[in-house]
Structure formats: structure tokens, C-alpha cells
Amino acid sequence: MNILKYFKKDFTAKKYCDLFYTFPDGTKLYKIKDSYIEKLPAKKLLSIQENSNYIAFLGISKSMLEASQNKCERLSVECEILTERKAKHTEILAKQKELTSTIQAQKISKSEYDNAISTVMLSIFEMFFYFEKEPLFVNDEFWTEKKREYLNKYPSLRVFFFQKSRELYIGLENHMGQRYKFSCGSNNNTGTYKAISVYDYRRREDGLIVALQKEYKFEKDYIETITIEDYFNYLDKYFEKISKESKK
């Protein structure tokens, strides 16, 4: 179903959401009603998955960052030892270059990771929360920047909103797992869902969407026009077919 046909008249938050919070300056923030979440554009959910995939692609974890920091400290000590021992200039220079290179790589990795995490959290926040006159079913950079502005303007509320967004997203995963048995079934008893868990990141078309294009013979842009509900119905039928074929 085309999302614009489903919501023919009033696309704004006031009709499809409940008042959630009023900022100190009087600006109202609304949370979408549970009954309308699956009527949101599938693109919103796919955007979250894409950004999550990029984090997985970076392969950065807290332990890796700590390991990099430990390496920097070790190299720093080794530089001092070489200097005290009056080692050859070339040895000291080589060790210093290694230290500089490690520090630079750490800065880039941490920056990319922080940016990706921030993008994911903002995407999840955007999926559930809307300003009073914000159109729910049209992606508009103006409203994205306004949400970013308010989260930065009230840092004490930022953690609260992100935690609430995460709770809502986990709830959505659980709901999807119950409703769409084939597309959201657990993978190898890991508890992750096939359709909304992290896939290997690619800087090209998502393999799952390509598979759906071939199966249902629709254009790539068609995904931009359908709801989350439509998208998961396609997925469910697709995974059901694969399941049946694998048992032959």
C-alpha cells in the first residue's frame, strides 16, 4: 500500500500521535501511537538497519578501543626507554611514527564510531517521536535537524529520549517477531531476527532488497513508497517460500 494513499489528508503528528513531552520553551513532542507504527514508511526502518550495519562493518567495540589505547601507552613508554638509552635516531623515529600512526587511526575510528552511533540513535528517535506540525510520512531534513537541535539544546533530556527510543525499538522487534513468523524468526536460536537484525554491511544495494526485487519483480524505488507493514508482508512470504523449498 502506498503510504500517501493510506493517509490522504492530515499527515501531521497531532492526529496519529499522543503528546509525550513539552519542552521548557513550550514546544510539544509527540509519540506515534502503536497502531500506526507499521503504517510508517519502510524506509525509516531500513535506514536504522543500514546505519546499524555500518557500525558492524566498522567492527569497533569498547574492548578494541581500549586495546588501541593500551598500545598507544606501550609505544609511548618504549619511545621514552629508547630515548633514555640513547638509541639510534632512526629507531626512535620509527617508534614515534608508529605511535603517531596508532593515535591517528584511533581518532578516526572513534570518530566514525561515535558518528554512526549518534546517527542510529537519531534515526530510532525520529521513527517514534514527532513535533506537532511535522509530517510523519515524508522524510524532511528540516525536521531531522530540528530534532538534532533540540537534543543538543537539552542535553539532560538526551539520554532519557534515547533510552525511551531504544525501549520502543526493542518492543517493535518483539512485536514483529510474534506477527511475522517467517521473516522475523530467530536465527539459530540466537534471539536475533532475520529481517531486522544487523546484516553484513555493504556499500551497495542491500542483498535482501535485491532478492525481493527479483522475487516480486518490482523496481528498487518501489521500496520508497511502501509501509513497514507491506515490507514485512513481502518478507514473510519470501522467507516462507525459502523455508518450504529447503525442506524438499
Q: Which range in 49-53, 73-77, 176-180 is most confidently predicted, on average pLDDT? A: 176-180
Is the pLDDT score of 14 beyond 50?
Answer: yes
pLDDT of 94-104, one tens digit each?
A: 767 776 776 66
Of the chain, the percentage scoring pLDDT greater than 90 comes to: 11
Give the number of other Cβ atoms within 10 Å of residue 134's Cβ.
Answer: 22
Is the pLDDT score of 41 beyond 50?
Answer: yes
pLDDT at 32: 92
Structural domain including 176 reads 3-246
pLDDT category at 74 given cuts 50, 70, 90 is confident
Mean pLDDT for 115-129 is 84
Sheet holding 28-32, edge to edge: 17-22, 28-32, 129-131
pLDDT category at 199 given cuts 50, 70, 90 is very low
pLDDT at 106: 61
Q: Out of 94-103, 104-113, 198-207, pick the least confident.
A: 198-207
pLDDT at 239: 85
Give the number of other Cβ atoms within 10 Å of residue 189's Cβ.
Answer: 6
Is the pLDDT score of 107 beyond 80?
Answer: no
Mean pLDDT for 225-244 is 87
pLDDT at 215: 86
Is the pLDDT score of 28 beyond 90?
Answer: yes
Greatest alpha-carbon span in the chain:
78
CA 195 to chain CA centroid, Å, is 14
More confident residue, 137 or 16: 16
Contact 13, 136 (CB under 8 A): yes
H-assigned helices in 129-227? 141-153, 155-179, 207-216
State the total domains in the chain.
1
